[in-house]
A = this chain, B = another copy of it.
């Protein structure tokens, strides 16, 4: 009689299952978490530092830095501001996943955190396929990257809960058709909440930090 073959679950489903467990753990501790995605150099760390500046007086923050290489450049900037940070080295991998996130969580005292910010690896493709267990996913587009990115990287635009358009201070110096960009976004993710801002000048930041604070407080109550 032939043996039954057991088919193991495919990797994405296993990841989703673990992400679900991670979120339950965060919820139990009253931690609201966001996952920040962007291409390299779009301003993930700058946004996190600006967000710390605005929200640290009212919320207890913590940060997870995802990097492909064992350099602590970004994590050092966060801890220099007195905010606990954990770095995940992916060992060359192009994205964070739920296992890595699960491994990082015990490094924090979750009872002492209101808002956990995760900086994913700089990549507009792979991180879109791996949930971590965070409550919201935020994408940063950057003006000097050009206005055609929604059309060329649709997968990542489809799955996010908020969009930041960073480096608006460079709009006078680069070709960037805001209407064309926004039409692309609207096609992929209708009604997506969007924050044009400049981490350099600070313009537009209050709308973003206001939205995030609101989301975190509502998340904690839920």
Which A residues contact B (CB, under 8 angstroms)? 39-42, 67-69, 71, 73-74, 92, 94, 121-126, 142, 144-146, 148-149, 151-155, 167, 169-170, 173-174, 200
Contact = CB atoms under 8 A, between A and B. Distances in A.
A126 B122 CA distance: 11
Contacts of A154: 69
A74 B146 CA distance: 13
B94 A153 contact: no
9 cross-chain pairs, A with B, having the tightest CB-CB distances, nearest first: A41-B145, A144-B144, A94-B125, A39-B40, A41-B146, A39-B39, A40-B124, A71-B151, A69-B154
A156 B69 CA distance: 11
A39 B126 CA distance: 13
Given A69-B153, A152-B69, A122 B124 contact: yes
A122 B155 contact: no
A167 B145 contact: no
Contacts of A144: 41, 142, 144, 167, 170
A126 B148 CA distance: 21
A91 B197 CA distance: 32
